[in-house]
Amino acid sequence: MTQPLSGRRILVVEDESLVAMLLETILEDMECVPVGPVSSVADALKTVDEEDALDAALLDVNVAGTYVFPVAEALKAKGVPFVFSTGYGEGGLPDEWRGQPTIQKPFTEDTVRQALMQAVGVAEV
């Protein structure tokens, strides 16, 4: 059975190496193509600027002590959907970012799949 997100290129912005490896594995299990992981806001902004074929992104809200919102702005400007990842859930987001698909750490493969499908507008098969 083909995965609903099969072949999609997903940027991973995550500074915790174990979480980044878990996300890579989850994305590969869903037949996605992980881009990254990228572990700093500066590198993430560079990647967003240079990559024309991003289908979506998973953004850790706090990347090495820096908020990821400039990356979210850059993705939004390019029309690339994204999901926030945070230990605080949606309640930990500033008001202007509430309502954005958000997963709370620790998360499961199913949680990541559902949030990405919501972000890219794909219905469950």
CATH value at residue 31: 3.40.50.2300
What's the pTM value of the predicted model, to 2 decimals? Answer: 0.94
123 vs 118: CA distance, rounded Å: 8
Total domains, the chain: 1
Neighbours of 77 (CB within 10 A): 9
Whether 87 is in a domain gets the answer yes
* Torsion of the alpha carbons at 107, 113, 119 and 123, rounded to the nearest 10: -140
79 vs 84: CA distance, rounded Å: 16
Whether 2 is in a domain gets the answer no
pLDDT higher than threshold 90 for residue 124: no
Q: What is the mean pLDDT of residues 42-65?
A: 96
Whether 47 is in a domain gets the answer yes
Q: What is the pLDDT of residue 122?
A: 85
Taken as a whole, the chain contains a residue count of: 125
Whether 3 is in a domain gets the answer no
Whether 107 is in a domain gets the answer yes
Residue 88 lies in domain: 9-120
Residue whose pair of structure tokens reads 């500033």 in the numeric block = 94
Chain segment 72-87, per-residue pLDDT in tens:
999 999 999 999 999 8
Q: CB-side exposure of 77: number of CA atoms within 13 Å? A: 9
DSSP H/E element including 57: strand 56-60
Whether 97 is in a domain gets the answer yes
Chain segment 19-52, per-residue pLDDT in tens:
999 999 999 999 999 999 999 999 999 999 999 8
